[in-house]
């Protein structure tokens, strides 16, 4: 077929479509919303997957996180004459084993966390005191807003210094610079040497790794915490005639692996090494962000297939609508078909003409649907604004619907645009073939007699 002939067929198809603008527009709606729903749903799926992968990557794709977990049968609350200390979790022997015997490990960051009241004059705040080492800042992607983080010298000298997290510093020092100022932790003064920058909280992963709000911490040299607050690995809290006694050396040990390919095998070695010293006591958990990343990617693929399949149903419904309209058009234009056949048009020409009209309808609908699909992120911003303005509970500053939309950041997948358009044209061809063939099979003499 020559190019000029193709242009003529397309021109005739456009003229036929424009003769009934309202009907053609209503016919295209099924394709428009079908293509839009495909792109929008895949964008929502990609956005949700990107958010999950971001949270996992924040833990470090080459990291292995070993956490202490309190066994269900452990209790540490005592009153009266009886006393029981809950002993569980990672020990110094575990730390030496993990840091000295596994050749693929290039960095080890131990962490001990305690909840204590921190005071600056009349300002008080219950904070998580994080005892750790200088490598903690890089391992957790923290940035300094003021001052500096902990140093090796602070660790060696058990210095009475702390680094405040962003919101902690704002609460304790609302009107002054905290650097160099003292804060009280358990009736002992500590000098503030730095303030971390604002950082997004990490989400909880399963039951072994809880969500972490990095903006409400106080960072202290690990040896200082163990000497001042966690004496002999024992932390005691008194409250209303009873006390809580917990003996834990490390709440978490994060291992950094040199090569990403060695992460999974090293995780198996870590599990076997700790199992030897903990016997049947399941008081630890090994979290491998790389494994979680692969699971998130697999879930994303399944999610996209499900959402794409649901959206494709609307495209099929739109295709049925096109077939219905084109069959009605064949009946309306029976006399026109007879005249064309009488003037020498072949069956193939009739098929081409009606099939081109169908493709013009579905293709135009596909283009409009793509334009609407590209506006999905903008539409979600509008929805968020509406929810924040009219649905948000002003007393609490949140709502169930607000939480639903707050974490959504749709990302339009560029590969979905040609896919959706191609499917819309294919729908036009598939559902337009039967009406076109029906038109071509009409007897020319009977068609000319049709009123």
Please indicate, yes or no, whether residues 131 and 165 belong to a single structural domain of this protein.
Answer: yes
Q: Do 345 and 199 lie in a common domain? A: no
Q: What's the pLDDT score for residue 184?
A: 93
Residue 21: pLDDT band with limits 50, 70, 90:
confident
Percent of the chain past pLDDT 70, that is, above it, reads 83
**Cα separation of the two ends of the chain:** 33
Whether residue 279 lies inside any domain: the answer is no
Residues 177 and 72 in one domain: yes
264 in a structural domain:
no
Determine, yes or no, domain membership for 399: yes
Domain coverage including residue 374: 3-55+294-449
Q: Are residues 230 and 329 in the same domain?
A: no
pLDDT tens figures, 383-437: 777 766 766 554 445 555 555 555 567 888 888 888 888 888 888 888 888 888 8
Same domain assignment for residues 27 and 93:
no
Residue that finishes a domain, picked among 206, 239, 258: 258
Q: What is the pLDDT of residue 202?
A: 63
pLDDT score for 59:
66
Looking at the predicted structure, is the pLDDT value of residue 75 above 70? no
Q: Is the pLDDT of residue 160 over 90?
A: yes
Residues 166 and 302 in one domain: no
Asked if the structure places residue 263 within a domain, the reply is no
pLDDT at residue 77, rounded to an integer = 45
The two structure tokens encoding residue 380: 């979600």
pLDDT digits 0-9 by tens, 100-157: 888 988 889 999 998 889 999 888 999 899 999 999 998 888 899 999 999 999 999 9
pLDDT number for residue 395: 46
* pLDDT number for residue 78: 46
* Residue 229 shares a structural domain with residue 302: no
Total of domains in the chain: 2
Please check whether residues 51 and 77 belong to one and the same domain. no
DSSP string, 239-257: ETTEEEEEE-SBSEEEEEE
CA angle 104, 106, 107 (to 5 degrees): 135
| pLDDT per residue as tens digits for the range 215-258 | 889 999 999 998 888 776 666 665 555 566 777 889 899 998 88
DSSP string, 279-328: TT---EEEE-HHHHHHHHHHHHHHHHHHHHHHHHHHHHHHHHHHHHHHHH
In a shared domain, residues 165 and 228: yes
Same structural domain, 365 and 324: yes
- Rounded CA-CA distance 305/393 in Å is 35
pLDDT band per the 50, 70, 90 thresholds, residue 190? very high
pLDDT of residue 146: 92
Under DSSP, is residue 30 helix (H, G, I), strand (E, B) or coil?
A: helix
């Amino acid at each position: 077929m020559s190019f000029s002939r193709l242009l003529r067929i397309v021109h005739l198809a456009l003229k036929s479509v424009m003769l009934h603008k309202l009907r053609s527009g209503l016919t295209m709606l099924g394709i428009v919303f079908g293509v839009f729903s495909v792109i929008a749903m895949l964008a929502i799926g990609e956005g949700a997957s990107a958010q999950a992968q971001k949270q996992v990557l924040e833990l470090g794709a080459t990291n292995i996180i070993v956490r202490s977990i309190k066994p269900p049968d452990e209790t540490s609350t005592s009153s009266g004459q009886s006393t029981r200390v809950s002993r569980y979790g990672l020990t110094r022997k575990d730390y030496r084993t993990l840091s000295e015997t596994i050749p693929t490990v290039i960095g080890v960051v131990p962490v001990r966390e305690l909840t204590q009241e921190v005071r600056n004059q009349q300002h008080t705040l219950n904070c998580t005191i994080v005892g750790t080492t200088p490598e903690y800042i890089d391992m957790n992607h923290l940035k300094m807003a003021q001052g500096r983080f902990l140093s090796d010298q602070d660790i060696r000298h058990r210095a009475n210094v702390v680094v405040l997290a962003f919101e902690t510093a704002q609460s304790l020092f609302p009107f002054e610079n905290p650097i160099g100022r003292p804060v009280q932790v358990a009736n002992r003064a500590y000098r503030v040497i730095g303030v971390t920058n604002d950082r997004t909280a990490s989400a909880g992963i399963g039951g072994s790794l809880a969500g972490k709000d990095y903006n409400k911490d106080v960072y202290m040299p690990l040896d200082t915490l163990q000497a001042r607050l966690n004496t002999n690995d024992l932390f005691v809290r008194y409250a209303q005639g009873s006390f809580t006694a917990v003996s834990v050396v490390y709440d978490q040990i994060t291992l950094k692996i040199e090569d990403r390919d060695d992460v999974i095998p090293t995780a198996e070695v870590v599990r076997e090494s700790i199992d030897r010293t903990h016997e049947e006591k399941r008081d630890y958990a090994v979290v491998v962000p790389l494994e979680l990343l692969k699971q998130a990617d697999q879930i994303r693929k399944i999610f996209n297939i499900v959402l794409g399949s649901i959206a494709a149903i609307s495209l099929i419904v739109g295709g049925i609508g096109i077939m219905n309209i084109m069959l009605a058009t064949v009946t309306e234009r029976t006399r026109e078909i007879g005249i064309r056949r009488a003037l020498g048009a072949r069956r193939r020409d009739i098929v081409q003409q009606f099939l081109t009209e169908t493709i013009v309808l579905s293709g135009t609908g596909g283009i409009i649907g793509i334009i609407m699909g590209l506006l999905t992120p903008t539409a979600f911003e509008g929805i968020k604004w509406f929810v924040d303005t009219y649905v948000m509970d002003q007393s609490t500053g949140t709502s169930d619907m607000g939480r639903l939309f707050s974490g959504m950041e749709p990302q339009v997948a560029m590969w979905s645009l040609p896919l959706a358009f191609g499917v819309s044209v294919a729908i036009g061809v598939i559902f337009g073939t039967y009406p076109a063939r029906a038109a071509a099979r009409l007897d020319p003499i009977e068609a000319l007699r049709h009123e």
